[in-house]
Amino acid sequence: MFDRKRLPPPSTLPPPRSPRYSSSVLLGIPPHTHTHTDDETQFGVSLIDEGLIERFEKVTGHPAHPFLRRGIVFAHRDLNLILDAFEKKEAIYLYTGRGPSSEALHLGHLVPFMFTLWLQKALGGCPVVIQLTDDEKTLCRSLELEKAEELCAANIKDIIAVGFDPKNTFIFSDFEYMGGEVWREIESMRERERERERERERERERGREREERERGRGGERGGGRELRNKKETGKERIKTHFFQLFFQREKKTPTHHHQGALYKNVIRIQRQITFNQVKGIFGFGDSTNIGMVSFPAVQAAPALPDTFPHIFGENQKGARCLVPCAIDQDPYFRMTRDICQRLGHHKTATVEARFFPTLQGEAGKMSASDPNSAIFVTDTPKQIKTKVNKHAFSGGRATVEEHRALGADLGVDIPWKWLQFFEPDDAELAQVGEAYGSGRLLTGEVKARLIERLCEVVGEFQQRRARVDDAAARAFTSVRDMTGLMEGKVFAAKGGPAKKAGKKEGGGGGGEGKKTSREEKREEAKRSEAEAANKE
């Protein structure tokens, strides 16, 4: 196993990013520099130790990801319970997301999706849900709705190019999943009915021709009556379709059950949170627009499995959710964990990582407005080389002689920090760190190694991205029946016995068959009235 002692300890984490109401501020921590030990004591997260890594490898049968071995993903909440559930074949899923604010992802965006993809494979191909918060970017960045949707569509294709599989991955935008998908379905159904009507008209025309021929031979007019019956059948079909679409939800297929599921959970969550709570957690003030005040519930809802009935089945609360995220999002998911308990769900589990630093250093912020702050997935090898050589902050010394004597300051050196994310060979990385820290390697040599690795990562990504078209995107974003992923999985009810997927209690997943206290009182009153009448 990789020897973490040969590398310097993870650097102290930077303060949260500063732009007003960005995701990192919404999901932020108090603005002060702190260490991983501070996180353990202040936020109550548990550090991922060697014992947990070894158990992960034993339970999943997969060697630990470099991010785990190198302390990049260093903290968790209830990861041990996720491993317990995996051993028991209980239903689990991963939830992550992206706020579409740029036309292309940069490497800081790419890293969490790379780790999520690895987790999905290690956890037996469990479902992954990926939320695109185009609504939040419209609220906090003053983007027009059309622009937010445009960026969202481009970002979805970038995410797909990481390597996800549509069989077990559902990607959705808040604008679409909150209601747009319903109207697309209605319009599609209308178009199908229009095509049927055109076909009926063509058949009626053929029928009239047959009728004329039969009339000439003295035949009976049976064709017209048959056509009228077919026309009436078509009308009845569209009436029945609309009636089932809006009123008979219990008769729908799993692909229809999603309608309103996200919004219903948003409302349930909003009822549990006071304005004082969101002010304390997210720093909202009197000038904050009301959309931003209510938005945290939208981002919390995907952590509840009944938000996705087309994956887990209707009213199914027994699946456990694991969220890969950065440490600055921990206060947000602490709030989400409390909500889960109140609504009868398992607490959301998290695995938490330290930040991916900008080229200029830990205190900077990657931004599309500053192309030199990051490497984007659209960059050419020449652009990558220029950015790293000119803008990557170095921990090397002022002169070669001083560097040979003292070695590089690995605590601030960005090329070294980035190699920890992208160098796959543990032994090679340890060798570079030892040589660079002792002064045997110069900054230019380390930057050259980084440029080579980044060109490989970005080049492979661009090849996959070229194969992602609109049809491929629809395969991930369409609401389809994915309940087959739950075959053989156990849904462990919170505080109750586990049950197999597909089985319902009391005649239905929505609590049908169980009498409420009000119904029991009514029945008791009826019995009392009947007894009184008998006595009279």
Q: pLDDT digit string (tens) for 14-24?
A: 333 322 223 33
pLDDT of residue 328: 81
pLDDT of residue 496: 45
- Tell me, yes or no, whether 124 lies in a domain: yes
Strand arrangement, sheet containing 320-326: 46-47, 73-77, 349-353, 320-326, 92-98, 128-132, 169-173
Residue 28 DSSP label: -
Same domain, 192 and 129: no
pLDDT of residue 440: 95
pLDDT at residue 114 greater than cutoff 70: yes
Same domain, 301 and 240: no
In the chain, the percentage of residues whose pLDDT exceeds 70 is: 73
Q: What is the rounded distance in angstroms from the CA atom of residue 525 to the CA atom of residue 533?
A: 12
Which segment of 10-14, 214-218, 330-334, 502-506 scores lowest on mean pLDDT? 10-14
Question: Which residues are within 8 A (CB) of 449 and not within 5 positions of it... i.e. 6 or more apart?
Answer: 415, 419, 423, 432
State how many domains the chain has.
2
Same domain, 211 and 124: no
pLDDT at residue 343 greater than cutoff 50: yes
183-198 average pLDDT score: 68
Residue, of 422 and 515, whose pLDDT is higher: 422
Same domain, 226 and 325: no
Out of 232, 254, 276, a domain closes at 254
Same domain, 135 and 193: no
Q: How confident is the model at residue 249 (pLDDT cuts 50, 70, 90)?
A: very low
Which segment of 81-85, 121-125, 339-343, 519-523 scores lowest on mean pLDDT? 519-523
- Tell me, yes or no, whether 11 lies in a domain: no
Q: How confident is the model at residue 516 (pLDDT cuts 50, 70, 90)?
A: low
Q: What is the rounded distance in angstroms from the CA atom of residue 103 to the CA atom of residue 368?
A: 8
- Tell me, yes or no, whether 501 lies in a domain: yes
Whether this prediction's pTM lies above 0.85 is answered by no
The residue among 188, 189, 157 whose CA lies nearest residue 171 is: 157
Q: How confident is the model at residue 145 (pLDDT cuts 50, 70, 90)?
A: confident
pLDDT at residue 506 greater than cutoff 50: no
131-145 average pLDDT score: 86
Range of the domain at 99: 62-181+257-506
pLDDT of residue 52: 96
